[in-house]
Amino acid sequence: MNFPKEHEIYKRRMSRNLGVGLVLAAFIAIVFGLTIAKINNGGQVQGLDHSGGTVTEANQ
């Protein structure tokens, strides 16, 4: 269906696209911030698939 260019539907699409874009950008920023916070706090930085033994051996 064709709508005239100034139809409200384009405004709604624009708001949706912009909203999703901002949410994705915010999500990236949060994951980055969380990563920095966890590393600085000395938290677990290796995945759950790494056992303690493996870490020690790797350090040796």
Partner 1 sequence: MSDVTINTQAQEGEASFGDYFALLKPRVMSLVVFTALVGLLVAPVGVHPMVAFSSILFIAVGGGASGALNMWWDADIDRKMKRTKSRPIPSGKVEESEALGLGLTLSVFAVVMLGLASNLLAAGLLAFTIFFYVVIYTMWLKRITPQNIVIGGAAGAFPPMIGWAVATGGIGIESVLMFMITFMWTPPHFWALALFTKSDYGDAKVPMLTVTHGRKSTRVHILVYTFILAAVCLATGVTSIGGPFYMTVAVVLNAMFIKGAFKIWRRDDAAAEADNYLEERKFFKLSLLFLFVHFGALMGEAALAPFGLGGW
Q: What is the DSSP letter of 46?
A: S
Q: Which of 24, 30, 45, 55 binds partner 1 (CB under 8 A)?
A: 30
Q: Please, which residue, 15 or 51, has the CB nearer to partner 1? A: 15
Q: What is the DSSP string of 1-60?
A: ----TT-HHHHHHHHHHHHHHHHHHHHHHHHHHHHHHHHHTT---S-TTS-HHHHHHHH-
Residue span 36-55 as binding mask against partner 1, x where in contact by CB under 8 A, dash where not: xxx-xx--------------
Residues engaged in binding partner 1 (CB under 8 A): 1, 9, 11-13, 15-16, 18-20, 30, 33-34, 36-38, 40-41
